[in-house]
Amino acid sequence: MPVAADARRKAAGAGRAGRPRDPQVDAAIHAATLELLVADGYQATTIQAVARRAGVSAPSIYRRWSSKAELVEAAVFPSDLVEPAAGGDDVSEELADYCHRILSYLSQPPVRAAIPGLLSEYQTDPQMYQRLTARTLAPMRRSFEAFLRDVGSEPGGASVEALFEVMMGALFARALNVGADGAEEFARQVALIATSALQMQPRRRRRPFERAR
């Protein structure tokens, strides 16, 4: 990581350890970031532009986030989790609702505007993606695993982690490429595929000339 970014990270940590943050300033920065992402795109959403729109100083932002990428990530991927809701009689419907809520969130204009830029940032800073995974995706995966335990289902021949990754990959790709159009039906189709994986058991491939019993 560049020295300047590392220095800003240390300064931000020192600021957080001192006086408490003003929630009104946090909210203004958050709102300005989302507005700029939609209006001007990821590249133009700079710390200086956010500061001007939020009516705060750039150092106020750097005391909270060490870089633009971390600011944008915090704005579009907060720690609030999307969890599957068990309790009904139809696992497919519960998964459809779960997938629809995830897709609806990812399809929001500021999130869609941020994803390509953040993916580029993750290529140069893999640790940043690891922190995002630990903060958001890992807890979501654990809640998905708990949901499957509650409903008494597990993927036949595959891991729960693999099933979760397949679902999330499909939903991310759909949100990025299509957006909210047809989100409910697409979520239902993803849920049907997931439900099939939960119900299917792998069959041994029959060898050549082997007779069926």
Distance CA 139, CA 116 (A): 23
Band the pLDDT of 51: cuts 50, 70, 90.
very high
List the chain domain ranges. 3-74, 91-199
First and final CA of the chain: distance in angstroms? Answer: 62
Q: Who has greater pLDDT, 189 or 212?
A: 189
- So what CATH class is 3-74? mainly alpha
Confidence of residue 7 (pLDDT cuts 50, 70, 90): very low
State mean pLDDT over 57-69: 95
Considering the segment(s) 91-199 as one domain, its CATH architecture is Orthogonal Bundle (1.10)
In 104-199, at which residue ranges do the beta strands (DSSP E only) sit?
none
Q: In this predicted model, what pLDDT tens digit does every residue of 168-179 receive, in sequence order?
A: 999 999 999 999
Question: How far lies 25's CA from each of 19, 57, 111, in Å?
Answer: 14, 10, 21
Domains 3-74 and 91-199 share a fold: yes
